[in-house]
């Protein structure tokens, strides 16, 4: 009976959430206030973190700007709400934010029980471990971490994967759990933990913030699949489609060679597919069907570039992280990034 009651309560809660979300269009609400409220990480290099002028930088922050450009024709029409892992889902469910773009893993539980819709995978990742090579000399594998104190953030798939990994390998460990990433970073940097675990991309970013970055090594093991991407509330298909197709537009632009530098030129000189994507065909109303202007892809690319430009600038070769494209390459180059046709 207890399980039945819980199920009824969950279903009722989900129904109320869906009703509240559908009562007013997110797009209408966003246009009325003149900006998109976007939930991001409190500070993760390469994904979302404020610079010394308070401007938010990173792949996730740029995705927020891309959606703003699609909706308003202006990528600056966005306000950022920094959220901890524990706070992020409540903020989206309650309507505090319009969009969650915060290195969040797509899982079945979040897609169903939490009432979210994931718009795509903006970064294919996997969980790893980092250690201080001076503190743990000779450790070159996570399988050598039996008995270690491991810093981890609460309210994340990371915490669950950590438990699964040590249990599967019959190893003991001491989890040192923090709600905020800044607290976990500080504890690890001070030597309170033997190892740090989170998404491997995050480890590369966190290492840059440590007092002696060169002392720390990211171990080779990837212990999970972490498809990271933006999410919206269920119950508003139009808003979901705008966010989803913004992601696809970034990929399609890269595949077609449309960049910040040449987008205006290609509006006039591009081939049929390029002109269609850029909204230059007179009889094509793909943008208005979506609920935005027909030059929405032009506006996106002008604001943030294509997906490849976003990647290289924030986490790739042009960034301090210098992460290889790998799985995040286009499907035409051996990666997993693939967009349905814009037609």
Query: Domains in the chain, start-ordered, CATH in brackets?
Result: 2-124+228-333 (3.40.190.10), 127-224 (3.40.190.10)
Give every CB contact of residue 244 below 8 A, 6+ residues apart in sequence.
119, 120
Give every CB contact of residue 341 below 8 A, 6+ residues apart in sequence.
none
Quote the CA–CA distance of 317 and 311 in Å, as a whole number.
Answer: 9
Quote the CA–CA distance of 336 and 178 in Å, as a whole number.
Answer: 33
Give 200-262 as a 3 state SS string. HHHHHHHHHHCCCHHHEEECCCCCCCEEECCEEECCCHHHHHHHHHHHHHHHHHHHCCCCCCC
Q: Give the angle 340-300-242 at the CA atoms, nearest 5°.
A: 55
DSSP letters for 85-109: TTTHHHHHHHTS-SEE-SS-B--HH
Helices vs. strands in the chain: H and E counts, helices first: 14, 14
**Residue given tokens 């892992």 in the structure block:** 85
pTM: 0.88
Retrieve residue 18's tokens.
């869906």
**Residue given tokens 């809660």 in the structure block:** 13
Q: How do the pLDDT tens digits run along the chain, 343 residues long?
A: 334 343 434 444 444 444 444 457 999 999 999 999 999 999 999 999 999 999 999 999 999 999 999 999 999 999 999 999 999 999 999 999 999 999 999 999 999 999 999 999 999 999 999 999 999 999 999 999 999 999 999 989 999 999 999 999 999 999 999 998 899 999 999 999 999 999 999 999 999 999 999 999 999 999 999 999 999 999 999 999 999 999 999 999 999 999 999 999 999 999 999 999 999 987 778 999 999 999 999 999 999 999 999 999 999 999 999 999 999 999 999 999 999 999 9
**Residue given tokens 């404020």 in the structure block:** 50
């Amino acid at each position: 009976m207890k399980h039945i009651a819980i199920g009824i309560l969950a279903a009722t809660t989900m129904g109320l959430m869906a009703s509240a979300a559908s009562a007013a269009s997110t797009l209408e609400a966003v246009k009325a206030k003149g900006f998109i409220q976007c939930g991001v990480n409190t500070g993760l290099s390469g994904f979302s973190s404020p610079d010394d002028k308070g401007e938010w930088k990173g792949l996730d922050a740029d995705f927020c700007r891309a959606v703003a450009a699609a909706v308003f024709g202006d990528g600056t029409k966005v306000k950022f709400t920094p959220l901890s892992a524990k706070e992020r889902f409540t903020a989206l469910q309650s309507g505090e934010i319009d969009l969650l773009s915060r290195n969040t893993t797509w899982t079945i539980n979040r897609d169903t029980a939490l009432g979210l819709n994931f718009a795509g995978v903006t970064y294919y990742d996997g969980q790893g471990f980092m250690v201080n090579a001076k503190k743990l000399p000779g450790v070159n594998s996570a399988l050598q971490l039996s008995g270690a104190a491991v810093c981890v953030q609460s309210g994340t798939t990371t915490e669950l994967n950590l438990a699964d990994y040590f249990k599967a390998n019959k190893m003991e460990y001491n989890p040192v759990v923090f709600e905020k990433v800044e607290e976990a970073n500080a504890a690890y940097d001070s030597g309170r933990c033997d190892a740090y675990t989170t998404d491997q991309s995050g480890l590369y970013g966190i290492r840059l913030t440590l007092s002696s970055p060169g002392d720390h090594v990211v171990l080779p093991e990837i212990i999970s699949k972490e498809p990271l991407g933006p999410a919206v509330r269920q119950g508003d298909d139009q808003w979901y489609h705008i966010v989803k197709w913004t992601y696809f537009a970034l990929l399609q632009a890269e595949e077609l060679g449309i960049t910040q530098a040449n987008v205006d030129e290609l509006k006039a000189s591009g081939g049929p597919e390029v002109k269609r994507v850029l909204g230059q065909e007179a009889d094509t109303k793909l943008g208005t069907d979506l609920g935005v202007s027909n030059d929405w892809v032009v506006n996106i690319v002008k604001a943030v570039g294509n997906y490849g430009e976003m990647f290289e600038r924030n986490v790739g070769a042009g960034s301090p992280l210098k992460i290889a494209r790998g799985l995040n390459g286009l499907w035409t180059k051996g990666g997993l990034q693939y967009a349905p046709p814009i037609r």
